[in-house]
Amino acid sequence: DGFYKPVDCMVLNPKAVSAAALYGEFNAMTAEWADGIVPTLVRQCVDQNNKTADRRQWIICDGPVDAIWIENMNTVLDDNKTLCLANSERIKLPASLHMMFEVQDLKVASPATVSRCGMVYMQQSNP
């Protein structure tokens, strides 16, 4: 069945690095753009998808939600599925790539972000 395919999981904690390390930044000395972790992973997934479409890719952001990093994901989460970078580059996500967020709460997530995501709530059980 074409629906069931192997999955490549890439897990990161977005709060463990700066926004520049996460999304990329311009080097003031060289005036060159350097990709961050997210665009690097997305490019790898695009390359993989171009080589073979028999796998799925998941980028899993496992860590607390922060208004700074999560708002930059809004264009990825909407119908466009496009990563927009600060250097004006736009990377279209392949259909095989899915973003997942494992978070404790959504206190600082905007309604715009929450409305773009499907939610699974796991209630904490007492032993």
> In the structure, what pLDDT confidence band is assigned to residue 1 with cuts at 50, 70 and 90?
low
Range 6-37 burial, b when 16+ CB lie within 10 A, else e = eeeebebebeeeeeeebbbbeeeeeeebebbb
Residues 19 and 37 sit within 8 Å (Cβ to Cβ): no
Domain ranges of the chain: 7-114
* pLDDT, average across residues 2-9: 84
Residues of the chain above pLDDT 90, percent: 53
Mean pLDDT of the chain: 90
Per residue in 78-125, pLDDT (tens digit) is: 898 999 999 999 999 999 999 999 998 888 888 888 888 888 888 888
| 24 vs 126, residue with greater confidence | 24
* pLDDT for position 68: 84
Confidence of residue 51 (pLDDT cuts 50, 70, 90): confident
Of all residues in the chain, the percent with pLDDT exceeding 70 is 98
Q: At the fourth CATH level, which superfamily is domain 7-114?
A: P-loop containing nucleotide triphosphate hydrolases (3.40.50.300)
Please tell me the predicted confidence (pLDDT) of residue 36: 96
Q: Cα dist. 127→7, 87, 105 in Å?
A: 32, 50, 21
